[in-house]
Structure 1
Amino acid sequence: MARHRVDGPERTVRDPDAIVDELTLAEKVGQLVGTWVGSMGEDVTLEDAKTMIGEDDLGIVAAFGIGVSWFHDPARLAQVANELQRTAVEETDHGIPLLLPVDAVHGHGYVDHAAVFPHGLGLAATRDPTLARTMGRVTATEMRATGATVDYGPTGDVVRDPRWGRTFETFGESPLLCRRFAASTVRGLEAEDGDRVAATIKHFPAYGDPTGGEDTGAVECGPATLHRDYLPPFEAAIEAGASLVMPCYNAVNGDPAHGSEYLLTELLRERLGFDGAVVSDWGGVDHLHEDHGVTTDRRDSARRTITAGLDAISIGGREYATHLQDLVERGELREQRIDEAVRRLVSLKIDLGLFDDPYVDVDAAPETVGADDHRDAALEAARTSQTLLKNEGVLPLESDIDELLVAGPNADSLRNQLGGWSVQDPDPDAGTTLLEGVESVVDEGTTVRHERGAGITGPDDVDAAVEAAADADAAVVALGENWYYHEFGPQEVTGATGEFPTRTELGLPDAQRTLLERIQATGTPTVLVLITGRPLAIEWAADELPAILMSYYPGSEGGTAIAETLFGEHNPSGRLPITVPRSAGHLPAHFDQLAHPRPIGDDEHPPSDPLFEFGHGLSYTEFDIREFDVEEPTIGPGDDVAVSATVANVGDRAGRRAVDIFLRDDVASRVRPVREHVAFDAATLEAGESTSLELAIPNRALAVTAPDGRRTVEPGTFTLFCDEHSATVEVVSDR
């Protein structure tokens, strides 16, 4: 009989120490490992998972909400969750319920009809962290309805190389944006007054700058850079209440994160104060012996990772449980370390209420997943993310236009619109494509003609598209990237390895560019819509086309959001969260590079101006920043900085204007970035209105970061920038 069987609706206070003390060693190590259900090299069936729970005491099962799962229907997911929990609670001696993790980085995306939000890059373009919090709450509610309890998100990685295949998951290249949006997402997921799930901030500490942009490539960065640029999002997420931390796959300065005692114990626990559980990324433990070459085999990898500070091997299965038990019995791994890890996981299960009631209402799941208010929230996020890169008077289009061509591989592809970490074959009614959105907003008398013209990499009757463009009054061409994850895979979905999208190419492939050039050559006003996970180098388009809209991966409601923006029902207000380079050869292009000399003169260095800079974004109205002031021009070394920016809508329609504030330390003891993003806000104004935005720049933004992570605000002058305006503040030591 289960020793810790759930009691029903009444919550009981439970002592994790007492629970751990009653477990056998075999039961303890079982709690530290998990399995999946699905097909990934080998098939693991639901019955296989139940056998491992019953015989090996596994405490974690990723049965759905993942790319390898066979289950996507909400009701079926709830049934699977209940079946697994019933096995753990009623058919084991200990009766400890399971953690059921999912990849839900932009909504419960691997579930049919879920509300899928824009991916992180698009969300950060909104400059509105409350939308990230809303996404977190909606995601948690839909997860809980299906029985999922752990979200392997959000992503806290700061992008330094946009060739990287996981760029779209991040909140961009600004440590500030990554910090604010990651923390807000955590607060939504972990909300005590909502359907709380455990958030996992990942991928600690520095996944976003892999060598050559190759996924999981080695990261080489100085300690000051690590503390200044990469750690702040993790610090903020931990402060916001993230229950779990996931290490990156990479070796950081030669130290594989999954097996690094320095990173997982000294830095994460002792320096950042994290007291929750550390869970492996899927193959992260195996990589130590298979790829990094720092251990000999699985047993050795188990020893090193758990000793380093890892608490759970997420898909270790019975083999890793056996290794952990043997390591303890042979004295190579302290049982106290096992107890510590189990205690963290059991405490989380208690906090999530799983000991009180781990089961869900199967009938309610389909009603909750994709509920109207959830999709409305996803639509609002998609609208606010739309970023107008260029407009020479073509946009907005008139709803009574006579004839419109909608072309391109992403014009009618819900899969590509969702982006990776989502269902690969979404039902047609699970969202709205761009074509469907356009058809819904134009007048009845408008003829909308759809000719694909090209796939992602190959032509598709381009002549028909060109002929239709010649007859149309305007053409909307939706280009960009398809569904992928990690290193632009898997091949059966995205195409052969090395074909676009690929880290060796940031430009549009020939088939897409040919389609765009030939449509533009007809003389018909042409609007380029980019549905993409990375900032593509589109120099020809930027020079030759009258209008370009950056839509990122906008999610299930993206087609409506794009159409409303094209036709002026929504006034775009997104601002780029990442720099758009002129080519891959112009990298690195991020705005906050370190200052450096030019020994033989500035004119000997070719200009490296980006195609579109970080923070760029246009509107259908005109805004002026009329004043930019520092409240106190002289402050002490422990003070924050208060600034104000007066924003005026001098155009003829309502709109929203986001502002970014940057800082330069004029003289510092260490080399600092030429610009650092230190604050942002936004104002929504009617035509003719103005307002003053009051922004607080935290004291830490002024600080020089030392290699050991110490932050020191030094006396001196700092210059602050807001658009074309600047102001100075002086720090004095005797104030």
Structure 2
Amino acid sequence: MQDAFAASGSIPLAEASRHGLGQLTRVYGSAPRTAAEGAAEVIRQQRVVLAESRLGVPAIVHEECLTGFTSFGATVYPAAIAWGATFDPELVERMAAAIGRDMAALGIHQGLSPVLDVVRDYRWGRVEETIGEDPYLVALLGAGYVRGLQSAGVIATLKHFAGYSASRGARNHGPVPMGRRELMDVILPTFETAVREAGARSVMNSYADVDGVPAGADPWLLTEVLREQWGFAGTVVSDYWAVPFLATKHRIAADMDDAGLQALAAGIDVELPDTLGFGDGLIGKAPEELIDRAVRRHLTHKAELGLLDPGWTPEGSVAGADEVDLDSPANRALAREMAEKSVILLDAGSTLPLDPAPRRIAVVGPCAADPRTFMGCYAFPNHVLPRYPERGLGVEVPTAVEALRAEFGATEVVHQKGCAVIGGDRSGFAAAVAAARAADVCVAMVGDLAGLFGHGTSGEGCDADELRLPGLQGELIEELLATGTPVVVVVVSGRPYALGEIAGRAAALVQAFMPGEEGGAAIAGVLSGRVQPGAKLPVQIPRTPGGQPGTYLQPELGAEKNGISNLDPTPLFPFGHGRSYTTFEIDDLRISDAAVPTDGEFTVTVRVRNTGERAGDEVVQLYLRDLVAQVTRPVKQLTGFARVPLAPGEAKDVRFRVHTDRTAFTGRDLRRIVEPGELEVMVGSSAGELPCRGAVTLTGAIREAGRDRVLITPVEVEKI
């Protein structure tokens, strides 16, 4: 099936529609159109498709929707890495449902989200688009997004299938030096869960090659695994220009027609956003059954969406356009809840929450008064509006300075930028230092500005060569610390940065992963104590700028300082870490069975109690370790979690029901197996704080975990 990139006009729409058209690309998301203007353009383009094609079949309209509907004036929710910090699949599902309702009302049928890549190197620019570094966390929150979006009648598109996030040197589009075992155990489970548990209806291929085979031409990945093993029955769409890249970048195809033939044979059904490979050149070259296969899959989607119904009209498809408010109060309330639940208190120190009536607060840093720093690279204000500066942001985004002034009322809040996110201009240092010296407390707002292909410090094509704060921001913090004024460092970023040089010297540390349009108020609320922080790190915070490997999922020789290497991989803050303004205690570990067969199940129960004076949420985390296996295994791996709200003094039992399939791994012969032997069971509040430890032994023979293997660890929370 073909797609026309209507926004760019690279192929005239009438010409592209001559033999029928698969999809229309980003009618709303390529230029600053209002909802009404976009709806009128959808009607116009669908009318062209109907008039110019022989069979008069409408096109599917797709749009980006990673941080909300990527359209002018639409709510900008937190970036996906912030979803991970919530550890709350139900909240992500509610957000996605709201996004889907807005899109469906405007005649949009397919959303190009969620990103299910698992972070393998923090230097990669698209870390902000991912949900985190743990496959189980990514799988559950990603499945929640799929359920939410598709509940509104919008097809979710899983991307990037698969391996994109593990490129050599964290370089965008770079080759992935990954063996099949790592691919199967770390990368693929997120996609499998979204397909099997949430019913995802579309998949987008990765640009990258894995061990020399580009995903877009890999029948093992796109057909054998995706369809034959997992039972996927939807459509596979190419990432933009991934089909011609097989010829122009990967050099595995002789020309565009060869690239199209290889992609079609591998299992790609729709080429986006142009028809460079899936064009007339395939006539007489591609077997008819392959073309029929792709057309049948896509027409099935059109039928399910009602596009083939006798009464369908372009006008009727956007019937809700006049009533939709793309940044409604309900949307903003949901964006606020997402933001508040995603801000991570790394270390409260002796300063947070701030005194409700300090004499003066100095707010310093490049993220203090630039609202764009709260948004990811696929948010419309950063993705499209830099080309239209006269249009502003399209939505109201209070800055951190504005939010802090609103939060603290009559308190004097002064602001100095100090420096830009990137660049070498120190001319603002003196004023920033003077403001800090004259204040009771200084809030240093540092981090990223998202952009595309080098026009930012985070985002697609904005990779980093190390994990030092960009530009002069590290030097600015050093000068602020030297003033003697307590400095609260708030990092607003799309990736984790090394904070080891300032830890213990800063008065407090807060991490906010691009919290969206309501991020300013959420951060201010955490600093004041109005918002009780309960978020957890979906990635580690490195200690040093070159701190690699960048994920906790490592075998012993990669995860621990052991004297064999002078490099210490210990993070400053571990995966799953996050503090609160109350305290929690996790204890009373109970394991149902000392031994279970390799096809059995056991339960792990702990008691969590709020031992402080404020209500709050604790995320109880279950990790397992396979002590002896036929291949090296991680020293620990998240196997279950639950976000538990607790009143002061309240206690609840958290019970994890663990099927032995959840211990499966890919063995030496590349079969996924459950192996007998001892498992260490660990439960606590982060990968680095696991006070409850026990063991269970799997007995019997090695068992292959088949296509129906259990993917989820159910959790029950019971009040005591």
1:130: how far off? Answer: 0.7
Question: What secondary structure is seen at the aligned counterpart in 2 of 1:660?
Answer: strand
Which residue identity does 2:348 align to in structure 1?
Answer: N
* CA distances 1:11-43 after superposition (whole Å, capped 9, x unpaired): xxxxxxxxxxxxxxxxxxxxx12122335xxx5
Matches within 5 A, 1:354-433: 354-356=307-309, 357=312, 358=314, 359-361=316-318, 364=321, 367-423=324-380, 424=382, 425=385, 427=393, 429-433=395-399
Q: Matched residues in 1 for 2:460 and 2:125: separation?
A: 13
Q: Give 1:135's aligned amino acid.
A: M
Greater CA drift, 692-701 or 426-435 = 426-435
Structure 1 partner of 2:242: 284
1:495-514 equivalences under 5 Å are 502-514=463-475
Amino acid at match of 2:393: D
| SS in structure 2 at match of 1:541 | coil
Task: For 1:610 and 1:540, locate their aligned partners in 2 and report how far apart those are by CA, in whole Å.
Answer: 13
Change (3 A) 1:341 1:597: closer
| 2:674 corresponding residue in structure 1 | 713
| Alignment match, 1:183 | 143
Give 1 or 2: higher helix fraction: 1
Aligned to 1:113: 73
Q: 1:297 aligns with which of 255, 260, 267?
A: 255
Aligned residue among 396, 400, 403 for 1:434:
400
**SS of corresponding position for 1:285:** helix
Q: Secondary structure at the match of 1:406?
A: strand
What per-residue deviation string (whole Å, max 9, x for no partner) do you get for residues 644-686 of structure 1?
1211111121111112211111222222111111011121112
Q: Counterparts of 1:190-589 in structure 2 under 5 Å?
A: 190-191=150-151, 195-239=152-196, 240-317=198-275, 320-324=278-282, 326=283, 329=284, 332-356=285-309, 357=312, 358=314, 359-361=316-318, 364=321, 367-423=324-380, 424=382, 425=385, 427=393, 429-443=395-409, 445-458=410-423, 459=425, 461-485=428-452, 489-491=453-455, 502-589=463-550
Which residue of the partner structure matches residue 118 of structure 2?
158
Distance in structure 1 (CA, Å) of the matches to 2:24 and 2:47: 13
Q: List gaps (5 residues or longer) in structure 2.
A: 386-391, 684-689, 703-720
Contact 2:422–2:457, Cα closer than 8 Å, also in 1: no
Count of aligned positions: 680
Q: Which amino acid aligns with 2:592?
A: E
Further displaced range: 709-718 or 196-205: 709-718
Structure 1 position 554, deviation (Å): 0.7
Instruction: Return the letter of the residue paired with 1:679.
Output: G
SS of equivalent to 2:13: helix
Distance 1:625 1:537 in 2: 29
Q: What is the percent sequence identity of the aligned residues?
A: 33
Residue 731 (1) aligns with residue 695 (2): no
3-state SS of paired residue (1:166): helix
| Amino acid aligned to 1:349 | K
CA shift in 2, pair 1:651/1:374, >3 Å: same
Counterpart selection for 2:603 from 639, 642, 665: 642
Alpha-carbon distance in structure 2 between the residues aligned to 1:407 and 1:61: 44
- CA gap 1:541/1:145 in 2 versus in 1, 3 angstroms: farther
Q: Name the structure 1 match of 2:6.
A: 37
Aligned residue for 2:114, secondary structure, equals coil
Cα distance in structure 1, aligned partners of 2:701 and 2:288: 53
- Partner of residue 125 from structure 1, selected from 67, 85, 93: 85
Q: Could you tell me whether the CA contact under 8 Å between 1:75 and 1:363 is conserved in 2?
A: no
Q: Is the alpha carbon distance of 1:365 and 1:186 closer, same or farther for their aligned partners in structure 2, counting shifts above 3 Å?
A: farther
TM-score (norm 1): 0.88
Whether contact under 8 Å (1:222, 1:707) holds in the other structure is no
Q: Which amino acid aligns with 2:414?
A: R
Q: Rate the CA distance shift 1:378–1:679 in 2: closer, same or farther, 3 A.
A: same
Deviations 1:87-133 (A, max 9, x none): 2234433121111111111211x212322221111101111111111
**CA shift for structure 1 position 364:** 3.5
For 2:259 and 2:33, locate their aligned partners in 1 and report how far apart those are by CA, in whole Å: 33
The counterpart of 2:641, out of the listed 680, 690, 696, is 680
The answer to whether 1:148 aligns with 2:148 is no
Partner AA of 1:691 in structure 2 = K
Query: Is contact 2:343-2:523 (8 Å) kept?
Result: yes
Task: Give the structure 2 partner of residue 61 of structure 1.
Answer: 24
1:214: how far off? 0.4
Query: How big is the alpha-carbon RMSD for the aligned residues of Structure 1 and Structure 2?
Result: 2.5
Matched residue SS, 2:643: strand
Q: What is the deviation of 1:496?
A: 14
State the shift of 1:320 in Å.
Answer: 3.8
Structure 1, gaps ≥5 residues long: 1-31
| C-alpha distance in 2 between matches for 1:678 and 1:397 | 36
Q: Secondary structure at the match of 2:474?
A: helix
Indicate conservation of the 8 Å contact 2:589/2:692, yes or no: yes
Counterpart residue type for residue 86 of structure 2:
T
Q: Secondary structure at the match of 1:450?
A: strand
Q: What is the CA–CA distance in structure 2 between the aligned matches of 1:496 and 1:391, rounded to whole Å?
A: 29
Contact 1:399 1:441 in 2 (8 A): no
Give me the whole-angstrom Cα distance separating, in 2, the residues matched to 1:412 and 1:649: 36
1:541/1:494 CA distance change after superposition, 3 Å? closer
Determine helix, strand or coil for the equivalent of 1:196: coil
Kindly indicate whether the alpha-carbon contact (under 8 Å) linking 1:269 and 1:275 is maintained by their aligned counterparts in 2: yes
CA distance in 2, matches of 1:365, 1:515: 49
How far apart, CA to CA, are the structure 2 residues paired with 1:568 and 1:339? 60
Counterpart Cα distance in 1 of 2:396 and 2:660: 46
Matched-pair contact (CA < 8 Å) for 2:126–2:458: no
Shift of 1:497: 12
Contact 1:34–1:62 at 8 Å: present in 2 too? yes
Residue type of the alignment partner of 1:60: Q
